[in-house]
Amino acid sequence: MKMKIMKLNALALAVLATGLISCGKEEVPANPPAPSITVTDSMEIPFSTSHYAFFSFKDSSVVNLGDSASTNWDFGVRLVNIIVNSHASGPGNAGVITQTGVFDTYTTAPTTGYAYDTTTTNLAIDNGLTTGWYNYDDNTHAFSPKAGRFFVMTTADGHYAKMEILSVTYAGFTSQTSPPDSLIYKLRYTYQADGSVNF
């Protein structure tokens, strides 16, 4: 009987010791969430009305025009017109909420309320001359993003991003009577690779 009690006591001590050791260790998830990535980048696009230049948040790069019918891009730019890869503009699920506020302090993307490119004239991002995302100067013919305005986006493949257009400048602009060769969009964006809504 004594031997049986001793064995039970030894077993209880072993279980207690194991519990104490495991309490001292921090649980590490098997797949820790990927941190969101904030990037300041620029894309130079031709000053042309013929086609859009397409951009991918995931790859931080301009996408080949041959991939325009794919989900490899998230938004496209042509002059001041911006489209997203959804419905009338592409096969993806990209959507946009035009947000006012401070880009840096916006930390959580909503899961609903996004606008889509439902038709070629009803786009998710307002590109209107007076109502759109930019200001236009009649004297210099330059345009600039409206202060305190940025875009919260779902990407073509279902991730979340937020994007702020910092500036738009002309390249190869020699006179007021001829158009520039290209436009340079300077962007800042945060892309969440793990699919969560956290920025």
The per-residue pLDDT for 48 is 85
CA 59-62-65 angle, 5° bins: 120
Confidence of residue 22 (pLDDT cuts 50, 70, 90): very low
The per-residue pLDDT for 17 is 45
Residue pair 197/108 in contact (Cβ under 8 Å)? The answer is yes
Both tokens assigned to 171: 């390249």
Residue type, position 2, single letter: K
The per-residue pLDDT for 139 is 85
Confidence of residue 142 (pLDDT cuts 50, 70, 90): confident
Both tokens assigned to 46: 């031709």
Predicted TM-score (pTM) above 0.85: no
d(CA 53, CA 96) in angstroms, rounded, equals: 18
CA 121-62-67 angle, 5° bins: 65
Q: Element (H or E) spanning 56, and its range?
A: strand 53-56
φ, ψ of residue 104 to 5 degrees: the values are: -65, -30
The answer, yes or no, to whether residue 182 has pLDDT greater than 90, is yes
Least-confidence region, from 24-38, 61-75, 79-93, 127-141: 24-38
Confidence of residue 135 (pLDDT cuts 50, 70, 90): very high
The answer, yes or no, to whether residue 12 has pLDDT greater than 60, is no
